[in-house]
Amino acid sequence: MNIAIRYYSQTGNTKKLAEAIAAELGVEAKDVSHPLEEKTDILFLCNSVYWAGIDKKVKRFVNTNALKIGTLVNVSTAALIESTYKQMKTVAAEAGVTLSDQEFHCRGKFKALHASHPDEADLKAVREFARSVLGREA
Ligand SMILES: Cc1cc2nc3c(=O)[nH]c(=O)nc-3n(C[C@H](O)[C@H](O)[C@H](O)COP(=O)(O)O)c2cc1C
């Protein structure tokens, strides 16, 4: 199975999740400035929310790589909202990309909020999530 990991992270929180998945699966995590090199069965797309929206660089990545994405698995951090899944659903639908119903979300540090997140427990949880996705999507 061909797996890729991409992330967009302004302050480093989401990058930590991407790197934890990378360590678990033995696949390099790259930021969204790196297009997919080949068709991927599963793309872990790690993203966040800034002023209530997914960054346009993430949307552009999905649009320009759509034909190479088998199933997109959403992984997110945020300070307030529960997940970026709903927004990613729109992004994926507009690009004609299949979005997995499995997703991972945890809190991300923002100013005085959630100071230690993602923490060790979050990173352990995302590693387990990545492993279970492979089991279910295989
Ligand atoms: C400029 C900016 C705007 C943000 N706006 C929101 C927001 O509207 N809602 C929310 O839940 N979190 C918001 N956050 C918090 C981020 O989603 C949270 O800190 C996230 O973990 C950042 O991920 P990153 O470190 O990978 O960039 C904002 C953070 C920044 C830096």
Could you report the per-residue pLDDT of 35-53, keeping only the tens digit for each?
999 999 999 999 999 999 9
Query: Domain containing 30: what range?
Result: 3-137
Quote the pLDDT of residue 118.
98
CA of 101 to the centre of ligand 1 (A): 23
Quote the pLDDT of residue 138.
57
User: Which protein residue's CA is at the shortest distance from atom 29 of ligand 1?
Assistant: 50
Percent of the chain with pLDDT over 90: 97
Average pLDDT rounded to a whole number, residues 92-121: 97
Q: What's the pLDDT band for 135 if we cut at 50, 70, 90? A: confident
Quote the pLDDT of residue 137.
67
User: Which protein residue's CA is at the shortest distance from atom 16 of ligand 1?
Assistant: 78
Report which of 10, 17, 3, 7 is spatially closest to residue 119, judged by C-alpha positions: 17
Tokens at residue 74, please? 């959403």
What number of CA atoms fall less than 13 Å from residue 80's CA on the CB side?
7
Structural domains of the chain, count: 1
Q: What's the pLDDT band for 10 if we cut at 50, 70, 90? A: very high
Quote the pLDDT of residue 136.
74
Instruction: Look up residue 71 and give its amino acid.
Output: T
Q: Contact at 8 Å (CB) between 43 and 72?
A: yes
Looking from the CA of residue 78, the nearest atom of ligand 1 is 17
Q: Cite the beta strand spans of 53-108 per DSSP E.
A: 69-78, 98-107
89: CATH: 3.40.50.360
CA of 38 to the centre of ligand 1 (A): 30
Mean pLDDT taken over the chain = 97
